[in-house]
Amino acid sequence: MFQGTFTALVTPFQARSPSGFDRRTLEKQIAFQAGHGVQGIVPVGTTGECPTLSHEEHHEVVEVAVGAARGTGLKVIAGTGSNSTDEALALTHHARKAGADGALMVNPYYNKPTQEGLYRHFKTVAQAVDIPIVLYNIPGRTNVTMTVATMCRLTKDCPNIVAIKDAAGNLDLTSEAVAAGLHILSGDDSLTLPMIAVGARGVISVASNIVPDQVRGLVDAALAGDISTARSLHLRLFALCKALFIETSPIPIKTAMALLGRDSGELRLPLCEASSESRRIIRGALVQAGLSPISS
């Protein structure tokens, strides 16, 4: 159901009011994605600064994304994860009610559940809400890694758990998951090509906020077995992909979008603006990727 290129959207804020969600800019960004042929969008994930959105704002972003995507062919996978099972359940119920095509659920963070705790957490939500669910394994953010055995147990017992976003940065884990029959999406732009080479079916991408056509071209070529084209695009985008994680995401991608005149660049504390050296590196990576920064 979820194959190809999905863009992990930033949440734009009004330049003069960091506490205000900028609906109009998000709608423009979604139209930009639709115009460049990606398969879907992922609002209110890590890139969307979900930890600092209120529940009301979270709901509004999902509703705006669903409305803006309607009629474009874009699938919407709404971020609904939490370290509280009750909160994750409520957010997932809302995503389904709003019309999202799926829910992205990150491993609970900070409280470090066991594998049994992870299983019960995701099973509770999956059995309560009839919506396709993508599990999100990102130990660098959550300090817990879901094992392939737990993933398999969940997909066996919960048919609506349909894919895994793999941002563990471990090709052995990816290979083990694919060998077990799991549907894997890359969660690391710089590893998308090698992950597809071992059997992943696409990417949930940060870079496609600014280069959706190039990311889509890489994924489409790789899935079609055109490794030469995919490798060429991978190498062209590699410096940009690394620059977009030079500081904590989404600081670099919002910096890049501001440099391109596509976002205010506003972040919510405890995230703050990129350093001058990081801005220099991001600007250089944009130019190398064939883009033209318009602001200083």
Average pLDDT of the chain, as a whole number: 96
Banded pLDDT at 20 (limits 50, 70, 90): confident
CATH architecture for residues 4-224 = Alpha-Beta Barrel (3.20)
Indicate the helix (H) or strand (E) that contains 230: helix 227-243
Q: Which residues of 60-71 are buried (b: 16+ CB within 10 A; e: fewer)?
A: bbbbbbbebbee
Whether 280 has a pLDDT exceeding 70, the answer reads: yes
Residues noted as catalytic: 136, 165
Residue with the larger pLDDT of the pair 81 and 296: 81
Instruction: State pTM to two decimals.
Output: 0.96
CA angle 89, 33, 194 (to 5 degrees): 80
CA torsion through residues 182, 183, 185, 190, sign: positive
Cα gap 215→60, rounded to integer Å: 28
Model confidence pLDDT, tens digit, residues 106-163: 999 999 999 999 999 999 999 999 999 999 999 999 999 999 999 999 999 999 999 9
Cα gap 2→20, rounded to integer Å: 31
> What is the four-CA torsion angle of 14, 72, 9, 201, rounded to 10 degrees?
180
Phi and psi for 78 in degrees, rounded to 5? -85, 135
Whether 18 has a pLDDT exceeding 70, the answer reads: no
Compute the average pLDDT of residues 190-216: 98
The pLDDT of residue 1: 82
The pLDDT of residue 275: 97
The pLDDT of residue 16: 61
Whether 228 has a pLDDT exceeding 70, the answer reads: yes
DSSP 236: H
